[in-house]
Amino acid sequence: MTFDPAPSSISGTPSVVQSLRAHEGRAVPFSVEFNPPRDAAGEARLWRAVREFECMHPAFVSMTYGAGGSTKDRTVRVTGQLARETTLLPVAHLTAVGHSVAELRSLVGAYADSGIRNILVLRGDPPGDPLGEWHRHPEGVEYAEELVRIVRDLGDFHVGVASFPQGHHRSPDLDSDTAFLVAKLRAGAEYSITQMFFEVDHYLRLRDRVAALDPSEGAKPIIPELMPITSLRTVTRAEELCGRPLPASVLERLRRAAGDGPEENKAAVREAGIEIATEMAQRLIAEGAPCLHFITLNFAKATSEVLANLGYGVTPAPARA
């Protein structure tokens, strides 16, 4: 996998693209997504996962940002700690929801003060109802493309954006959605991370559409996002995160593993979820995906099991409560 060089960092902090390029000739790199902790117990769990993943050497790690900036302070603080206190390459999420341009610039400055030079720009979902009507802040921006330009104009930052294998639910059709993604890439984004999906063909067709619309922007990495499902309870969460119902074949496989009795066969469901994620990852690797990005929910075990199945030479993390 070969990408056009991203601008080198004056600060010495590598970009995501540079980190991916450093893995050329070796196994396809992987990366992981964390969530800001809500309390002390959640923070302890996060840091256990951080240290476990640090031993596995991901290409980068990302820290999400709550709807409407609901986790803004924790996101800035914890992402800064990742930069200062670990060997990991952190990517901070930044959304436009509920923020003026002045506030957005201030947040980017806070990231810079914490040593963060990689930012994933998202327009973001409305607080309370991700599928609800989106409202621009009176002094904010309407589109992620505008936010990409703001971040790039502020200095030495490397910017990624979101992409949607099945199209964003607010886009009228796939062609329009592809045009929005290409506009974000042309504005200065160096790569995209997809919304979670469960059918690899959706990812492949997204890649084809971008390359057909703009071959130069299509050369930029489109990183697929995966989430190993470990229980039927997480199915609802998975559907919320990907914005689409799970494919019937995936649901049937999980329900078959759960069994017909009054009690879910949790071990069997978990095993099926890990198998599904492993099979998807194997095909994505065969199809030339530049990286595998895992939603972890701040646990290392499921992702580490998938990586072990793929032959990455990692020891599965211990189970955590």
Q: What gap in Å lies between CA 51 and CA 288, rounded to an integer? A: 29
pLDDT digits (tens, 9 = 90+) for 221-259: 999 999 999 998 888 777 877 777 889 999 999 999 999
Check 33, 52, 145, 225 and give the catalytic one: 33
pTM listed for this prediction: 0.91
Position 182 pLDDT exceeds 90:
yes
pLDDT of residue 211: 97
Mean pLDDT of all residues in 156-185 = 92
Token pair 């890649």 is found at 207
What confidence category does residue 6 fall into, taking pLDDT thresholds of 50, 70 and 90? Answer: very low
* Least confidently predicted of 155-164, 201-210, 309-318: 309-318
Domains contained in the chain, CATH given: 16-308 (3.20.20.220)
Instruction: Taking the CA atoms of 6, 312, 120 and 40 in sequence, report the sign of the dihedral they define.
Output: negative
List C-alpha distances in Å: 52 to 16, 227, 304. 21, 18, 9
Is 160:190 a contact under the CB 8 Å cutoff? yes
CA dist., res. 220 & res. 7, Å (int): 13
Instruction: Decide if 142 is catalytic.
Output: no
